Amino acid sequence: MTLDAEALRLMHAGRLGEALQVAERAVAAEQACSPGHAVLAEILLRLGRAAEAESVLESAARYAAGSAEAYDALARTAVALGRHDRANALYRRAVQCSPNVARHWYNLAASERGFGRFAQAEAACDRAIALNRREYRGYLLRSELRVQTPTANHLEQLRQELARPDLHDSARVLLGYALGKELDDLEQYDQAFEAFALAAGARRRQLVYDVRVDEHKLRRIIEVFPRGPDRVLDGRIDSGRFVFIFGLPRSGTTL
């Protein structure tokens, strides 16, 4: 096992201190951007040392050489740090190193969309799909980038993919929503509804849900938390103080 793989294993096991030591050894003699740099930056992030993680990111990005996998992994770290400009540049370097890997083109497309470069994002989606027609995320992203028109749409391609007999539900979700979105753009609302229903049905089949689990959680909440406040506050409330409201999702906690 390589040092960066060992550091990753330790990180996932929650042994961050040990992982950090191994990751630092992994990159100590590196003269190129490597996956180990991304692992080291991720460990530092998990330790709450964002400034050091960013320093690793910048140092690794300055190397003239590197692998596509290293740039791709480091780009994800850049996103976590809020450095979307740096992430975009790293995604570009990834596709330059490995132009025949569909996943790298999809990641670049998603980054380009974030900067409002929709034409470039669509071109990157086209490239990803051309390299691997099973890069299903690319179909949905591409459909979302602009309003489709009667002369510029992807209806035929989407229908062909949806008609494949070996299609999995995970793909049917993405393709169905993409087709529904494009049909809605073209004001073919009945067909759009059918496509959305197809996607939603596939999504529902993927869900593993038992209402009894939620019922058990609610019973435990009732048992653990008191029914009322420990004490009643009298007098004027200082409205300049922060107020924190807690609740289950969709229970009306948004102010």
Residue 68 lies in a domain: no
Residue 160 lies in a domain: yes
Looking at the chain, the whole-number percentage of residues with pLDDT higher than 90 is 65
* pLDDT in the model for residue 131: 97
* pLDDT in the model for residue 254: 63
pLDDT of 74 over the 80 cut: yes
**Are the beta carbons of 53 and 45 closer than 8 angstroms?**
yes
Kindly state the average pLDDT of the residues 129-149: 97
Residue 36 lies in a domain: no
Interatomic CA distance for residues 98 and 153, integer angstroms: 28
Residue 5 lies in a domain: no
Parent domain of 208: 147-222
* pLDDT in the model for residue 66: 86
Residue 185 lies in a domain: yes
Domain count, the chain: 1
Residue 29 lies in a domain: no
Residue 171 lies in a domain: yes
pTM, entire model: 0.80
**Are the beta carbons of 35 and 20 closer than 8 angstroms?**
no
Give me the chain's average pLDDT, please: 90
Residue 33 lies in a domain: no
Helices 50-61 and 35-46 meet at what angle, rounded to 10?
170
pLDDT band at 29 (very low <50, low <70, confident <90, very high): confident
Task: Give residue-wise pLDDT tens across range 220-235.
Answer: 998 888 776 666 656 6
Interatomic CA distance for residues 34 and 206, integer angstroms: 36
Interatomic CA distance for residues 4 and 21, integer angstroms: 11
